[in-house]
Amino acid sequence: GDSVTQTEGQVTVSESKSLIINCTYSTTSIAYPNLFWYVRYPGEGLQLLLKVITAGQKGSSRGFEATYNKETTSFHLQKASVQESDSAVYYCALGYTNTGKLTFGDGTVLTVKP
Amino acid sequence: EAGVTQSPRYAVLQEGQAVSFWCDPISGHDTLYWYQQPRDQGPQLLVYFRDEAVIDNSQLPSDRFSAVRPKGTNSTLKIQSAKQGDTATYLCASSSGTGYGQLYFGEGSKLTVL
């Protein structure tokens, strides 16, 4: 089956500092999965932040970026300079083109201190 | 454009009671998903539909959980004889086709079973 691992349950970063949230995945499928980062801001529903469907490619949105690394089976989320408004819960997920269902990690709570 | 709407937002039950959750997807979205999200975990797929047909319900505890989407639009998830282990947030999401993994989520229905 598929699984997604986020090693940090909580991350606290000072405003304007850099951020990395780790994500690794495992799959028994012969097909390469599509990879996603979803985010839930306080008081809002879960929403797509960025996606990459081709191994080796990088996705970016709102200053965040993530590179699909099939050798290390990783999809770490990075941002060079975080803002207080980035405080949210971030979920890494994988899926396949022929089905919309997703497998999620357990999420990382990001707190940005002013 | 209206987003995914879920109701009720909160439910508190005693063990053994029943509850139904309702979801109205984004207009025109043919695929609808129900996810269960226990506290401090990622969303886990329970069932998904394309139009009125169930595509995958392999993770739905069939003895107490049921889900329908009779006209291919709104959907209801019902839990009969709830258990404390059912305490979780129930998320509904929709997409157009597979959406390549871009799902649109509602805010969720938070269930507490005492």
Please give the span between the terminal C-alpha atoms of chain A, in angstroms, as a whole number. 41
CB contact under 8 A, A100 and B33: yes
Percent of chain A clearing pLDDT 90 (strictly above): 86
Strands B19-24 and A64-67: unpaired
| Residue A101: band (very low, low, confident or very high) from pLDDT cuts 50, 70, 90 | confident
| pLDDT above 80: residue A98 | no
Pairing of strands B75-79, B65-68: antiparallel
CB pairs under 8 A between A and B: 67
Q: What is the pLDDT of residues B33-71, one digit of tens each?
A: 999 999 999 999 999 999 999 999 999 988 999 999 998
Q: Does B98 touch chain A (CB under 8 A)?
A: yes
Cβ separation A100–B108 shorter than 8 A: no
pLDDT band at residue B21 under the 50/70/90 scheme = very high
Measured between CB atoms, does A89 come within 8 Å of chain B? Answer: no
The tens digit of pLDDT for each residue in A42-72 reads 989 999 999 999 999 999 999 999 999 999 9
Count CB-CB contacts under 10 A for residue A84.
12
CB-closest option in B4, B98, B102 to A98: B98
pLDDT category at B102 given cuts 50, 70, 90 is: confident
pLDDT at B1 over 70: no
Query: In a mutagenesis test of the A interface, which of B4, B102, B110 is the best target, namely the one with the most A β-carbons within 10 Å?
Result: B102
Characterise B97 by phi-psi region: left (phi > 0), alpha (psi -120 to 50), beta (else).
left
